[in-house]
Chains A and B, each alone.
Chain A
Amino acid sequence: MTTKRSRSGFRRMATAVVTVAALGGALVACAPSAGAGTGDASASDLEAALEAGGTITYWSWTPSAEAQVAAFEEAYPKVDVKLVNAGTNTEEYTKLQNAIKAGSGGPDVVQIEYYAMPQFALSDSLVDLSAYGLDELEDQYTASTWGSVNIDGKLYGLPQDSGPMALFYNATVFEQFGIAVPTTWDEYIAAGEQLHAADPTKYITSDTGDSGFATSMIWQAGGHPFDVDGADITVDLADEGSAKWATTWNQLLEKDLLSDIPGWSDEWFKGLGDGTIASLVLGAWMPGVLESSVPDGAGDWRVAPMPTYDGEPVSAENGGGGQAVLKQSKNPALAAAFLKWLNSDPESIKIFGESGGFPSTVAELESEEFVNQESEYFGGQKINEVLTQAASDVVPGWSYLPYQVYANSIFGDTVGQAYANKSDLNDGLATWQEQLIDYGNEQGFDVKG
């Protein structure tokens, strides 16, 4: 969506991933429950709340938020939505966490990426939206995004966007050096060698260690490093999938084929524009970022399916998120009504799509108009054909840790050291695992390696 989205990961949850209910009781004491949301509330309450009007606050960093809020206020003049950009991902989560801890000062509706959803659900700070009948919207969303906002049978948010991964490559650079579009990771590494040998200033991709990217790559390789069952957690960053990715990526790292330009820096955007970074494997929200932040690359970039280990099409989710209603909200019915409009009303989703967002709604993903859209930036390529196909190739059954925000924050301290030293990523993953187990146990979970 917006920059930095990639740091997130997308999370797909099997139904019994976190048994929050079992823990809820213990946590009620720490979380302020403003008597919101639960009880007899229903869909008709939402209509009534919209009729009555009122003021709610909405925290978001999506570029489309302003236009969406304006359209909503036009449709429901009695409702006043105060839009606040409280920072991008972790910055917002820090403020949100503080507001939850303080018991007040939080928004009514808040943007939360899928990877962070379990953390806030766990602290019992989000309203279960099925109380307002929003669970009936299930059919409108893709299974993977719906799974990400459903935690132990409770609906903690509505999905907004999704990020099935694909290969974005600079076709001009590829053609110049006679590189074929790789379909397997072996071909990708070979392409990296060929490119860097032909022009030492150019790299196949840049990667200085990004937790969102690494977890998505492990996801694609078939790994299940995080197994969560209530308070019982297993962290295994040496499982088959994790090792498969690390061993493959080691080849790029050790042969010095990865550019050391940190992602999302000014140099990174420059490098994407002038061919220094020839390709990226990222979520489907990337075209919007390229268009808005890398104007120099217009016409050069193309999309292809993500390379795989055996040539069979497999993808993973990278980034993406939705919105949730906070238990602190003084008007949860109105907040839920706004949320329902925001992520299911065709008008709102249209605005979202126009700003470059990649939707999570089935109707849009399957519509001819969306799939056949030709992107001028991508030289007229029908990029959504590739991206919607990627969405259906996503490996099911992934889950994130209930403390993934913290886990991602120490990625640089652990796996990042392997990147810095150009040494074995498997060792870096082992250190990460060790610290994640320590932290989890210190926080009262029962974490095993």
Chain B
Amino acid sequence: MTTLSKLDAPEAPSPSTVPAPAAPARKVKSRPDWRGWAFVGPFMAVFVLVFIAPVAYAIYLSLFREQLMGGNAFVGLENFAEVFADSQFWESFLRVLLFLVVQVPIMLVLALAAALAIDSARLHVSGFFRIVIFLPYAVPAVVAVLMWGFIYGGNFGLAGNINDLLGFEAVTPFAREWILVSIGNIVTWEFVGYNMLIFYAALRTIPNELYEAAELDGAGPFRVITGIKIPALRGAIVISTIFSIIGSFQLFNEPNILKPLAPNIITTFFTPNMYAYNLSFSGQQYNYSATVAIVMGLITAVIAYVVQLRGSRKEER
């Protein structure tokens, strides 16, 4: 019996320890402790003020319609119904979608190539290239677009000079067919460096052992890229893609600043953001503008979420 009890002894504490921590847990549940709120309170106050309140106000605005004549009235979801039937909105949406599908891959591939080149250790003065490629991101977007506007100028700009040289209108950045390409070029120029830096930072975190192992296995530089670097970059690529999608859907600065140079080609509803801006500030249609912003925000969130799901699923594999 004693031996048995001795044998039992080690087992004895385990059943007794299991309920022990459970008991205090139940006590906490029955008497909620609000002291924690004192710590998160300041954060929650600012969070509600700067994140929740504007969104709530936009939703509130979207349910009303204020007229120049006749005041304000509750209209329920009428504004949303109107957005879904608004050809100008969908035209602007499809335009940024096209922009997204073409420009984002080009930009990310360029950024990836630049990051891999700088990381390859085969480049002389790689620090110099890193800075120079990143520099456009440090130029304020407004200044950058104005600068490109001068370059694109068909009469006295670089485009005009090239045309004079060739003797015909070879380069017309502000023509209807080329305007998206022109804007895409500016956006790519601005953000390649930023994305390159994200990729480059991710590449620096790859442990050296992996490279050593690859070398022992006889892997060439391209095998290292496809076998080690790209898989390690997957998370960074997903992040960059999501940022770029959001950026494309929010396209505003570039077309808005170029508008005076191409007044008839860049309309007031060229991108969803420009449309919302002009509805609000030229047309005083604050309510409808808020609705457009909400719909666009939801679409962006859904697409970004889908990209993230796909991206992380691959990561698990």
Chain A residues proximal to chain B, CB less than 8 Å: 23, 26-27, 29-30, 90, 94, 97-98, 101, 122-123, 208-209, 231, 260-262, 264-267, 270-271, 276, 402-403, 405-406, 409-410, 412-413, 416-417, 419-420, 439, 442-445
Cβ of B261 < 8 Å from any Cβ of A?
yes
Residue contact B284 to A208, C-beta cutoff 8 Å: no
Residue contact B265 to A420, C-beta cutoff 8 Å: yes
Give the contacts of B252-284 with A (CB-CB under 8 A): 260-265, 267-269, 278, 281-284
Residue contact A444 to B282, C-beta cutoff 8 Å: no
Please give me the residue from chain A that is nearest to B155 by CB atom: A267
Residue contact B281 to A97, C-beta cutoff 8 Å: yes
Give me 20 other A-B pairs in contact (C-beta within 8 A), A276-B155, A403-B68, A444-B68 excluded: A27-B71, A30-B66, A30-B71, A94-B282, A98-B281, A123-B68, A208-B263, A209-B264, A262-B263, A265-B261, A267-B157, A270-B156, A409-B278, A412-B264, A416-B263, A417-B264, A419-B264, A420-B176, A442-B285, A443-B67
Residue contact A409 to B68, C-beta cutoff 8 Å: no
Residue contact B68 to A94, C-beta cutoff 8 Å: no
B79 to chain A, nearest CB (A): 11
B28 to chain A, nearest CB (A): 47
Our pick among A97, A231, A262, A271 for the contact of B284 (Cβ within 8 Å) is A97
Residue contacts A-B, CB under 8 angstroms, 11 given: A27-B69, A30-B72, A123-B68, A264-B260, A266-B150, A267-B157, A406-B283, A409-B268, A410-B268, A420-B265, A444-B70
The answer to whether A94 and B281 touch (CB under 8 A), given A265-B261, A270-B156, is yes
B291 to chain A, nearest CB (A): 13
Interface size on B, residues (CB 8 A): 30
Cβ of B311 < 8 Å from any Cβ of A?
no
Cβ of B153 < 8 Å from any Cβ of A?
yes
A445 to chain B, nearest CB (A): 6
Residues of B within 8 A of A445 (CB): 68-69
Our pick among A29, A270, A413, A442 for the contact of B268 (Cβ within 8 Å) is A413
How far is A53 from B4 in the complex, measured between Cα atoms in Å? Answer: 103
In the complex, per-residue mask of B227-265: 1 if CB is within 8 Å of any chain A CB, else 0: 000000000000000000000000000000000111111
Our pick among A406, A413, A444 for the contact of B67 (Cβ within 8 Å) is A444
Residue contact B68 to A443, C-beta cutoff 8 Å: yes
Residues of B within 8 A of A23 (CB): 69
Residue contact A412 to B268, C-beta cutoff 8 Å: yes
Residue contact A208 to B264, C-beta cutoff 8 Å: yes
How far is A405 from B157 in the complex, measured between Cα atoms in Å? Answer: 32
Our pick among B153, B260, B269, B286 for the contact of A413 (Cβ within 8 Å) is B269
How far is A101 from B68 in the complex, measured between Cα atoms in Å? Answer: 12
A393 to chain B, nearest CB (A): 30
**Chain A contact surface mostly:** helix
Chain B residues proximal to chain A, CB less than 8 Å: 66-72, 150, 153-157, 176, 260-265, 267-269, 278, 281-286
Residue contact B283 to A122, C-beta cutoff 8 Å: no
Residue contact B267 to A267, C-beta cutoff 8 Å: no
Residues of B within 8 A of A417 (CB): 264
Please give me the residue from chain B that is nearest to A210 by CB atom: B263
Residues of A within 8 A of B265 (CB): 420
Please give me the residue from chain A that is nearest to B265 by CB atom: A420
| Interface-centre pick from B72, B260, B263 (highest chain A CB count, 10 A) | B263
How far is A29 from B73 in the complex, measured between Cα atoms in Å? Answer: 13
Please give me the residue from chain A that is nearest to B70 by CB atom: A444
A415 to chain B, nearest CB (A): 9
Q: State the 7 A-B residue pairs at the shortest beta-carbon distance, nearest first.
A: A444-B69, A416-B264, A444-B70, A409-B282, A444-B67, A420-B264, A443-B68
Residues of B within 8 A of A420 (CB): 176, 264-265
How far is A442 from B263 in the complex, measured between Cα atoms in Å? Answer: 26
B187 to chain A, nearest CB (A): 22
Residue contact A406 to B282, C-beta cutoff 8 Å: yes
Residue contact B263 to A231, C-beta cutoff 8 Å: no
How far is A190 from B157 in the complex, measured between Cα atoms in Å? Answer: 30
The answer to whether A442 and B67 touch (CB under 8 A), given A261-B155, A413-B267, A416-B263, is yes
Residues of B within 8 A of A27 (CB): 69, 71
Residue contact A267 to B260, C-beta cutoff 8 Å: no
Residue contact A122 to B68, C-beta cutoff 8 Å: yes
A424 to chain B, nearest CB (A): 15
| Interface-centre pick from B66, B68, B153, B156 (highest chain A CB count, 10 A) | B68
B264 to chain A, nearest CB (A): 3
A101 to chain B, nearest CB (A): 8
Residue contact B284 to A406, C-beta cutoff 8 Å: yes
B150 to chain A, nearest CB (A): 8
B295 to chain A, nearest CB (A): 18
Residues of B within 8 A of A208 (CB): 263-264
